[in-house]
Amino acid sequence: MTPPVALWDDRQAFPSIESLPELRCVTHVQLHQAAAGDFQFLHEASLAWHGDTLYAAWANDPQDECSPQGACRGRRSADGRTWGPAATIAPSGEGHVCRNHGELVSDGQALHGFVARFRYGGPDIFTELVTERYTLSDAGWQGGGAVAADFWPFTKPLRTAAGHWVMLGVNHDTYPVAALSAGDCWDRWQVVPIPAPAGLIFVEPGLWVAGDRCRAVCRYQARSAQQPVTVGEVALVADSLDGGRSWTLAAPSNLPLAHSKVWCGHLSSGQRYLIGNLRNRDTLFLAVSRPGEELLCRAWRLRHGRSPEPRQAGRCKDPQWSYPSAVERDGELFVAYSVAKEDCALSIVPLAALTVD
């Protein structure tokens, strides 16, 4: 049997939920709370600093997940502790058109949102899927032109050593794909597959980039009970050595991961980090490597225990802390995530708490 791909330094076992320590000195913030009768479903948060302002975005639907009249909305903050009013980034479409979450990214000159748009064909049926790019101006969010076909973004664009940018997402079958820019042009992206085992659903990837080496870390869940995953709840890993143009077959790793989206990143300390769920969506954990190393070696609970119950009815809504996104600034890591697929919360972690000798 092929050994699992190493994500975790297995010189010590990954801690059980019961023995996983809690992060201390973390500030938890209510970023957004749904109001009765106004976009009752929320999921898939994204964060980005642009200038001195922190922006958050998420998918908002009237009641049910990924449904007609869905929109991308968000808020802004000067410090992550207090937030302004909700605003529309990408509006609801007409008929059965749905706009979903947007991955926010600043290029230093402007703030952009890469937003998924598709035609709703029923639960888990996404046709005419494209990614649109919106740009923030003094007049508000502008644009909306399609820049990538059959692509639903789940990571920010990251620059490769070859000079192009790469971001990861899923296609209309919810299988992992990579989108590659033409140099610094973000108006057109080439989409290439990331091979993954058959019979999976929502294989949403996180991304690390180091030079031209890219690593995708993916959710691993069977599409139906008739196609069970037999290796347990772990992350899938696929690698690229050419800046995302070609990928290895996504293979099971030695990192436990529940059926939920994962977020990957690099800290200014030189550490890699990963945020995901363990066993189920009641525990959101954060793991880091030693500085300059690739393998994760220390992990903590970020949120643990049952989240508040949804206040309003909606398809696919239940208690959870899930679908994280994170960004670093001024010695702190800001982590946004869904709460019961209805609200959005933010946890602010001092980088000093993530130090590993």
Complete domains list, the chain, with CATH: 27-354 (2.120.10.10)
pLDDT (mean) for 329-344: 98
pLDDT (mean) for 301-322: 96
Task: Name which of 266, 159, 168, 279 is nearest 211 in CA terms.
Answer: 159
pLDDT in tens, 192-248: 999 999 999 999 999 999 999 999 999 999 987 666 555 569 999 999 999 999 999
pLDDT of amino acid 16 = 94
Query: Based on the number of CB atoms within 10 Å of its own CB, is 288 exposed (0-12), middle (13-18) or buried (19 or more)?
Result: buried
pLDDT of amino acid 223 = 87
Contact 299, 20 (CB under 8 A): yes
- Integer CA distances (angstroms), 142 to 111, 134, 264, in order: 11, 5, 29
- The type of residue at 164 is H
pLDDT (mean) for 39-58: 97
pLDDT in tens, 102-155: 999 999 999 999 999 999 887 778 999 999 999 999 999 998 899 999 999 999
Contact 120, 114 (CB under 8 A): no
> Residue with structure tokens 């001024």?
330
C-alpha to C-alpha distance for 65 and 315, rounded to whole angstroms: 6
pLDDT in tens, 85-107: 999 999 998 889 999 999 999 99
For residue 231, what is the DSSP state? S
pLDDT of amino acid 120 = 87
pLDDT higher than 90, residue 2: no
C-alpha to C-alpha distance for 165 and 189, rounded to whole angstroms: 9
C-alpha to C-alpha distance for 195 and 190, rounded to whole angstroms: 16
SS3 351: helix
Q: Which of 156-160, 220-224, 342-346 is predicted least confidently?
A: 220-224
Q: pTM of the entire structure?
A: 0.97
Q: What is the average pLDDT value for the chain, to the nearest integer? A: 95
pLDDT of amino acid 85 = 97
pLDDT of amino acid 357 = 83
